C-alpha cells in the first residue's frame, strides 16, 4: 500500500578560489581584515570604475573544469545578473550564463564497492557578494564589502544523486580534486565551499522528475545531510496528503531542522541577464588548454596508487594520508628529508590521528613542519630518545611545532647510553627490590616487568627499555 | 504604436527596479518603454541569419591582470560615500537573509 519514493538531487556548489586578489580588481582576498579595508571603487560598484579580469581565476576555473572531465568553452564571456540587495553594491552580480567556462563533465564517486558517475552540467566564474551583519539591538544591518568581488566558481551538477550519502561522496570528491589543484582550500565551515541542494521526490519507477525546491544556508556536511532528510520527508508528506510541492527557494534552519520558504512572490527571481559590456570576451586557445593539462598536478587517486607502489604504504593508510592534501604534502616532504616513509606514515597514522581526534583538529589545520617531524623520526631511529619520550616530544611538535633537537636537549631527555651509570642503577634497583628479583630468579618471568619499571623510573625515563631489560636479565643470572 | 505595456507589466518592472512611481510617472514610463520596443521591432526587420551575436563593441579579447595585490586599505575612500556608517561599515535598514 505505502508508496516507495526516490529522492533526486542536484547540487550547486560555490567554491572560493585561492587567488591573492579579487576577480576584477587588485584588492586583497585575505580573510579576516577589518570591515571594508579590502575595497576599492571596482568592488564597491562605483560608477565609472572598470573591472579587469584576474587571469589566475580563468586558469583555476580551467584546471577544475579539466579535472572534472569538462569541455572548456573556448570563447567565453561574462553576463550581468541583476538583483537588488545591500550585499551587492552594483545591483548586479558579474557571472556567466550564456557561455560558462566549462560544460558537460563528470566526477566518479565510490559508495562501498560501487562506482557511479555524477554529471557536471556546467561550471562558471562569478564574483562573491559582501557580508551583512545584522544588529540584534538596532533595526539596522552593517555591510562589509571585503568579500565583494572575491572570485568564485559555481559547479552545477546534473540531478544524478539519489541519497545524502551520494551527495557527501560527491562533495568530498570535489573537495579533494579542488584542493589538490590548489584552486581553493574548500572549507565548508569558513564558507570557502558552499552548497545549495536542489531536491525533488518521485515515486519509484516513474521517469518524470517531481517539482524541485532549492535549499540554501547549508554550511556543514551534517547540515546538508539533515537538510536532505528533512526536505525529502516534507515533500513526501505533501504528496501523501495530495498536495503539490511548490518550486521555491527554501532556507534550512539547522537548529530547528526545518526549511522555510525564502522569497515571496513580490520578490520573484527575474535576473534579467545580459552580456557584461565592461569585460572583453575570453578566447581560450588549444595551446592554453594543452598547457593547463600539462601543468595538472598529481590528483588524489594517482597519489594514493603511488604511495602504495613507491613507498609500500598499505592502502588504508595511504587512503587516510591522501584524504587531505595538507597531510599528503607533510608526508612527502618529511619522507624526502628523512627517507623513511614507513616511519613517517606511522607517526601520521598513530600519534597524529590520535591527537587530532583528542583535540578536535582537522588535517588541514596541522601546524607542525616536515623538518621537525623528520628530526623526531631521526632522533627515535638513532636511539637518541626512546619511544615513550618520542611521544612526549611529538605532543610538543604537534601543538607548538617545537624543534625536537632543541627540546630534547633543553629538557635533558636523551636516552642514557652510559652503560656504567645504568649498571649502577640496576644494581641499586635489584638491591631495593629483593622480592621481585627472587621471584624472577625462581622462574616468574613477569617479575622482570616491575624491575624494568623501577629502573626506568630511576633513570627518569631516559633509558632504552629493551637495553634495561637485557642488562637486568644479565645481572640476575 | 504596436507595442502596449500593460499596467501589470509596469507594476512588475517597478518592483524589480525598486521604484515607486506615481500614476503620471507610470503612464510616461509606459510610453517610453513602448517606443523602445517599437524600435527593437524595427531592428528585428533586419535579416541577421548567420551573423555571430556581438558581445563586445571593441575587437579586443583576453584583457587580463596578473594576480598581484595593488590596492591598499581603501575603507576611508569607500565609506566616504556612505550616507550612514558604523564600525567601519555601511549602515542600512535591517535586511533579513
**pLDDT tens profile A34-47:** 999 999 999 999 99
Q: Which residue has the higher pLDDT, A308 or A386?
A: A308
What pLDDT, on the 0 to 100 scale, is given for residue A385? 85
Predicted TM-score (pTM) of this structure: 0.83
CATH code, A451: 1.10.10.410
Q: In sequence order, which ranges of A147-268 are alpha helices (DSSP H)? A: 164-181, 221-240
Instruction: Name the residue with cell 536532505.
Output: A228
- Burial code (b: 16+ CB inside 10 Å, e: under 16) for A59-69 equals bbbbbbbbbbe
Q: At what angle do helices A465-475 and A419-432 cross, to 10 degrees?
A: 60
Indicate if A378 and A309 belong to the same structural domain.
yes
> At B27, which CATH number?
1.10.20
- ipTM value, please give it: 0.87
| In-domain check, residue B58 | no
What digits encode the pLDDT tens for the residues B49-77?
998 877 778 889 999 999 999 999 999 99
**Nearest Cα to Cα of residue A221 among A160, A176, A168, A259:** A168
- Asked if the structure places residue B50 within a domain, the reply is no
Instruction: Using pLDDT thresholds of 50, 70 and 90, give the confidence band for residue A266.
Output: very low
Q: Does the distance separating the beta carbons of B64 and A135 come in below 8 Å?
A: no
Scan residues 141-160 of A and list those with Cβ closer than 8 Å to B: 141-145
**Joined grid coordinates for residue A424:** 649502577
For residue A120, which of A80, A68, A75, A170 has the smallest C-alpha distance? A68
Of A288, A323, A345, the residue that ends a domain is: A288
Does residue A197 sit in the same domain as residue A319?
no
| A103 bridge partner residues | A71, A122
% of chain A residues with pLDDT over 90: 58
CA-based nearest distance B58→chain A, Å: 8
Inter-chain residue contact A133 with B89, CB threshold 8 Å: yes
Q: Are residues A115 and A48 in the same domain?
A: yes
Count CA atoms closer than 13 A to A181's CA, side-chain side: 30
Cα(A266)–Cα(B14) distance, integer angstroms = 11
* pLDDT score for B93: 87
Residue A26 contacts B, CB cutoff 8 Å: yes
Residue B30 included in any domain? yes
Domain boundaries, position B34: 7-44
Assess if residue A293 is contained within a domain: no
- Domain annotation covers residue B40: yes
Amino acid A263: pLDDT: 63
Position B17 in a domain: yes
Boundary of a domain, candidates A253, A288, A323 = A288
Query: Average pLDDT, whole number, for chain A?
Result: 90
* Structural domain includes residue B94: no
> CA separation (Å) from A244 to A238, A240, A258?
6, 10, 18
CA dist A152 and A78 (Å) reads: 13
The residue segments making up the domain with residue A157 are: 5-288
Per CB-CB distance under 8 Å, the chain A contacts of B18 are 84
Give the three cell numbers for residue A54. 584576474
Rounded to 10 deg, the angle between the A164-181 and A221-240 helix axes is 150
Domain count, chain A: 3
Residue A161 gets which letter from DSSP?
B
A115 neighbors A108 (Cβ within 8 angstroms): yes
CB A15 within 8 A of CB A186: yes
Say if A273 falls within a structural domain.
Answer: yes
> For residue A61, is pLDDT > 60?
yes
Separation of alpha carbons A183 and A26, rounded Å: 18
Amino acid at each position: 500500500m505505502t508508496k516507495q519514493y526516490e529522492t533526486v538531487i542536484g547540487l550547486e556548489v560555490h567554491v572560493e578560489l585561492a587567488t591573492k586578489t579579487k576577480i576584477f580588481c587588485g584588492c586583497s582576498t585575505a580573510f579576516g581584515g577589518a570591515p571594508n579595508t579590502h575595497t576599492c571603487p571596482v568592488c564597491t560598484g562605483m560608477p565609472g570604475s572598470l573591472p579587469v579580469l584576474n587571469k589566475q581565476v580563468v586558469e583555476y576555473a580551467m584546471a577544475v573544469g579539466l579535472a572534472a572531465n569538462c569541455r572548456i568553452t573556448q570563447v567565453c564571456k561574462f553576463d550581468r545578473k541583476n538583483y537588488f540587495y545591500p550585499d551587492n553594491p552594483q545591483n548586479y552580480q558579474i557571472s556567466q550564463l550564456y557561455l560558462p567556462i566549462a560544460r558537460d563533465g563528470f566526477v566518479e564517486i565510490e559508495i562501498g564497492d560501487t562506482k557511479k558517475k555524477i554529471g557536471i552540467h556546467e561550471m562558471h566564474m562569478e564574483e562573491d557578494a559582501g557580508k551583512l551583519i545584522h544588529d540584534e539591538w538596532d533595526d539596522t544591518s552593517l555591510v562589509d564589502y571585503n568579500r565583494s568581488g572575491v572570485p568564485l566558481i559555481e559547479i552545477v551538477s546534473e540531478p544524478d544523486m539519489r541519497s545524502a550519502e551520494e551527495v557527501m561522496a560527491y562533495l568530498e570528491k570535489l573537495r579533494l580534486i579542488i584542493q589538490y589543484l590548489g584552486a581553493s582550500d574548500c572549507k565548508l565551515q569558513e564558507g570557502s565551499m558552499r552548497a545549495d541542494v536542489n531536491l525533488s521526490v518521485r515515486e519509484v519507477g516513474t521517469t518524470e522528475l517531481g517539482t524541485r525546491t532549492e535549499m540554501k544556508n547549508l554550511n556543514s556536511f551534517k547540515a546538508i545531510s539533515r537538510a536532505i532528510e528533512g526536505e525529502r520527508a516534507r515533500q513526501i508528506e505533501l504528496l501523501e496528503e495530495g498536495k503539490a510541492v511548490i518550486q521555491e527557494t527554501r532556507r534550512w534552519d539547522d537548529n530547528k531542522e526545518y526549511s522555510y520558504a525564502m522569497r515571496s512572490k513580490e520578490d520573484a527571481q527575474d535576473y534579467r541577464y545580459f552580456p557584461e559590456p565592461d569585460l572583453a570576451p575570453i578566447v581560450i586557445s588549444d595551446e592554453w588548454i594543452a598547457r593547463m593539462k600539462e601543468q595538472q598536478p598529481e590528483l588524489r587517486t594517482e597519489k594514493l596508487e603511488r604511495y602504495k607502489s613507491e613507498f609500500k604504504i598499505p592502502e588504508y593508510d595511504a587512503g587516510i594520508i591522501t584524504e587531505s592534501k595538507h597531510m599528503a604534502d607533510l608526508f612527502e616532504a618529511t619522507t624526502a628529508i628523512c627517507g623513511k616513509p614507513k616511519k613517517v606514515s606511522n607517526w601520521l597514522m598513530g600519534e597524529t590521528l590520535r591527537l587530532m581526534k583528542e583535540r578536535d583538529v582537522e588535517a588541514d589545520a596541522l601546524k607542525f613542519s616536515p623538518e621537525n617531524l623528520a628530526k623526531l623520526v631521526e632522533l627515535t631511529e638513532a636511539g637518541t630518545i626512546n619511544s615513550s619520550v618520542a611521544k612526549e616530544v611529538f605532543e610538543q611538535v604537534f601543538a607548538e611545532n617545537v624543534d625536537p633537537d632543541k627540546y630534547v636537549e633543553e629538557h635533558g631527555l636523551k636516552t642514557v647510553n652510559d652503560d656504567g651509570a645504568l649498571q649502577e642503577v640496576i644494581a641499586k634497583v635489584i638491591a631495593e627490590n629483593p622480592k621481585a628479583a627472587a621471584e624472577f630468579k625462581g622462574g616468574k618471568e613477569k617479575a622482570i616487568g616491575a624491575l624494568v619499571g623501577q629502573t626506568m623510573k630511576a633513570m627518569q625515563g631516559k633509558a632504552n627499555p629493551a637495553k634495561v631489560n637485557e642488562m637486568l636479565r644479565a645481572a640476575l643470572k | 504604436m504596436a507595442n502596449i505595456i500593460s499596467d501589470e507589466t509596469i507594476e512588475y518592472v517597478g518592483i524589480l527596479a525598486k521604484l515607486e512611481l506615481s500614476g503620471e510617472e507610470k503612464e510616461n514610463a509606459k510610453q517610453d518603454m513602448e517606443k523602445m520596443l517599437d524600435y527593437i521591432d524595427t531592428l528585428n526587420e533586419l535579416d541577421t541569419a548567420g551573423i555571430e551575436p556581438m558581445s563586445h563593441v571593441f575587437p579586443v579579447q583576453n584583457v587580463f591582470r596578473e594576480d598581484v595585490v595593488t590596492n591598499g586599505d581603501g575603507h576611508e575612500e569607500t565609506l566616504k560615500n556612505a550616507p550612514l556608517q558604523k564600525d567601519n561599515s555601511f549602515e542600512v535598514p535591517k535586511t533579513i537573509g
